[in-house]
Amino acid sequence: MTDPLIPATLAFRDNGTPFSPRHDDIYHSAVGGLAQAQYVFLQGNGLPERWQNRRLFTVLETGFGMGINFLMTWAAWRADPARCERLHFVSTEKHPFSRVDLLAAYAAVVSDESISALAQSLADAWPMLVPGTHRLEFEGGRVTLTLAFGDVTQTLPTLWLRADAFYLDGFAPARNPEMWSPAIFKSLARLAGEGATFATYTSAGDVKRALTQNGFEFRKVEGFGWKRAMLCGYFAPRWRVRRHEPPAPLAVQERHAVVIGAGLAGCALIERLAARGWRVTSLEKHAAVAQEASGNPAGVFHPMLSRDDSVASRITRAGFLYALQRWDALARSGHRLTRGAGGLLQLADNEDEAHLMAEALAKFGYPSDYVTSVEKAQAERLAGLTLAQSGWFFPHGGWIEPASLCAAQIAAAGETVERRFGVEVAKVERAGDEWNVLDADGATIVRAPVVIFANAHQAARIANLEFAPTRSVRGQLTLLPTGSVPSLGMPVIGEGYAVPLPDGVTLTGATYDLDDPEPSLQVAGHLENLERITRMLPTLANAFDTQHAQALAGRVAFRCVTSDRLPMIGALADEAAAVCDADRLRGAWPLDLPRAPGLYGAFAYGSRGLVWANLGAELIAAQIEGEPWPIERDLAEDLDPARFLLRALRQGTVR
């Protein structure tokens, strides 16, 4: 279970230097935080010279603190005409500041106006203080900050990236020994790229020994301010001990990708790849985007809560927060999204669940802008109707029209996208360093080094995946006409959901009919939807009978789900190669599996496409580009399309 996140306490010494009462240590030298960052971390790592004329450069920092090192690195990148094309800055922090305290700290210690402007941008984008990995983007995505909130001993081993430079910036080893433990340096060595450099203000003997034991060469140089010495150096192991090399970009002749499917999954991928300069060919069997489940009039979005902060809770939390960021970025760029405002209310199934979840939320200490437990009377004030139970309020949850999101993402991708509709893909075949995408007659539709399957039910079949247990779920929505039911103040979900749309219509649903291929509306489906919402909203009891239900409008769509109800996101396995090597791979881990070069999947999103699509697209783009992953590696492995093959190998059932 994830530990609660405890924010930092802002305090100052008499000389105005910010310090941590928890560790009784200062955040930076009294001589000045900006100057210390420049001397110790940038100059100590040979920056900006080392990133010049490179496509990608990644900095990994231990201890984000006030973010001064990030701000100075960002400023140096902006000022460098030969800067790298994309700068990734990854940092860990056990006790992050609140936005208010962060701004107060900057007001006290940052006097340079150019840095102040960057500090304001960082504070404006500052994430909710919940555990996990948070991805923030600046400069149109060319500068990316990935923050891992949590204990460094737990977060650092879950990161997956290739570091070019390390900023070792925890509190002093005597004050915060966990930050300088042998396990930390072992994790750093696992992530170090060839020739990766490091710098740190400390020169303690234990730190020097840990560096040497993990393959780093160091030298002692003059320290900053009143400090006599500091360390800097580089990764130069005398022997290879890593089981897996850190991620690297996919080797391609041309940065051209084919995305099959133009629903929520496919459009998110198109936007994320185009943002990195890829040429994308979009193939869609229908005549327009968002024609299947993504064509529903609205969908609700919210994180999933559990009393043990399960894998599903952690993944939906990451996806929810990242989706909000991406949608806001689209809106700021002038792209229109049709969405509701004011939050979302989730009702408990019964009083016992309400009580247990309220206890769990209090234990996790989530901030109120993430979720709040609400009593029944308060919930009724929010909803504007009588409710069956109390529940939880998500201030940033709500509803959105998926088609408007897809259209915005395609528009944001611009002219780098070739859109081809009415194209039915039958299979793909390897041809040299590329993939041929073929139709039913065996004719080549397009060739590219990268193909991504974002076409739900058809993905596993076209990709020829045997170990991909997906099923179809029929979902029927019901539209209650204007004036037929009292208006809700916000979406209410529970056993079902009720969403107030702008035209006065209330959307309810959806049925969950496994392996039911019926495409037409069914009266029984309408009645099922009505029965569920009347259990949630007693005011609506007897509002409709069977005769009325026959006249109701609605929509049928088919969701694709896996047996574990998690999506399939990431690189596809080379199943044939794995089967041939089944005995050796019986004890394999995900990174041991052979992969089909350039093939990826983004499907089986079920009813959570709005929450998962953007994060899934960012994860796949990062895997292709060799960038830091946007979520913890263990979570990415829970989404890995090869996870079912891996289970079969471990169980010895692959022959």
List pLDDT tens digits, range 133-178.
999 999 999 999 999 999 999 999 999 999 999 999 877 777 788 8
Q: How far apart are CA 398 and CA 376, in angstroms?
A: 19
Only one residue has tokens 């009505």, namely 530
- In degrees, to the nearest 5, what angle opens at C-alpha 121 toward C-alphas 115 and 125? 145
Task: Compute φ and ψ for 106, nearest 5 degrees.
Answer: -65, -40
Q: How far apart are CA 250 and CA 123, in angstroms?
A: 34
Q: How far from the centroid of its chain's Cα atoms is residue 571's Cα?
A: 16
Nearest in space to 316 (alpha carbons), one of 339, 336, 300:
300
Indicate if 485 and 524 belong to the same structural domain. yes
Q: How far apart are CA 443 and CA 358, in angstroms?
A: 58
Indicate if 480 and 520 belong to the same structural domain. yes
Only one residue has tokens 């709500």, namely 398
Neighbours of 598 (CB within 10 A): 23
The residue type at 145? L
Give the model's pLDDT for residue 540.
81
Would you say residue 555 lies in a domain? Answer: yes
Identify the CATH number of the domain in which residue 540 sits: 3.30.9.10
Q: How far apart are CA 211 and CA 236, in angstroms?
A: 11
- Cβ atoms of 135 and 161 within 8 Å: the answer is no
Give, for 535, the enclosing helix (H) or strand (E): helix 523-536
454, 467, 579 from 576: Cα distances, Å: 22, 11, 5
User: For the chain, what is the radius of gyration of the CA atoms?
Assistant: 26
Give, for 392, the enclosing helix (H) or strand (E): strand 391-394
Would you say residue 306 lies in a domain? Answer: no
Identify the CATH number of the domain in which residue 64 sits: 3.40.50.150
Only one residue has tokens 């910036």, namely 169
121, 436, 640, 642 from 595: Cα distances, Å: 40, 17, 11, 9
242-272: burial string, b at 16+ Cβ within 10 Å, e else: eeeebbeebebeebbbbbbbbbbbbbbbbbb
Would you say residue 377 lies in a domain? Answer: yes
Indicate if 169 and 231 belong to the same structural domain. yes
Indicate if 409 and 515 belong to the same structural domain. no
**Contacts for 48 with CB less than 8 Å, ≥ 6 apart:** 42, 76, 77, 79, 80, 82, 83
Would you say residue 6 lies in a domain? Answer: no
Indicate if 108 and 203 belong to the same structural domain. yes
Only one residue has tokens 């979406």, namely 491
Indicate if 17 and 94 belong to the same structural domain. yes
Give the model's pLDDT for residue 170.
73
Would you say residue 298 lies in a domain? Answer: no
Residues in the chain with pLDDT < 50? none
Tell me whether the omega of the peptide bond preceding residue 119 falls within 30 degrees of 0, making it cis.
no
- Our count of domains for the chain comes to 4
Give the model's pLDDT for residue 178.
84
The residue type at 531? E
Give the model's pLDDT for residue 156.
96
286, 365, 368 from 129: Cα distances, Å: 42, 10, 10
Indicate if 79 and 188 belong to the same structural domain. yes
- Could you give the 3-state DSSP secondary structure of residue 185? helix
Q: Which two tokens stand for residue 44?
A: 């100590």
Give, for 597, the enclosing helix (H) or strand (E): strand 595-603
Would you say residue 243 lies in a domain? Answer: no
Cross-strand pairs, 242: none
Indicate if 544 and 567 belong to the same structural domain. no
Only one residue has tokens 């893909």, namely 425
Which of 562, 582, 611 is at the close of a domain?
A: 562
Indicate if 524 and 606 belong to the same structural domain. no
- In degrees, to the nearest 5, what angle opens at C-alpha 509 toward C-alphas 358 and 469? 85
Nearest in space to 647 (alpha carbons), one of 514, 472, 471, 469:
469
345, 495, 586 from 385: Cα distances, Å: 12, 17, 56
**Contacts for 390 with CB less than 8 Å, ≥ 6 apart:** 347, 348, 354, 358, 373, 374, 375, 376, 378, 379
Indicate if 446 and 369 belong to the same structural domain. no
Give the model's pLDDT for residue 29.
61
Give the model's pLDDT for residue 541.
78
Indicate if 349 and 437 belong to the same structural domain. no
Would you say residue 64 lies in a domain? Answer: yes
Range of the domain at 633: 256-292+403-469+563-651
Give the model's pLDDT for residue 100.
94
Residue 525, exposed/middle/buried by CB under 10 A (0-12, 13-18, 19+)? Answer: buried
Give the model's pLDDT for residue 285.
97
Q: How far apart are CA 597 and CA 594, in angstroms?
A: 9
Indicate if 91 and 176 belong to the same structural domain. yes
Would you say residue 224 lies in a domain? Answer: yes
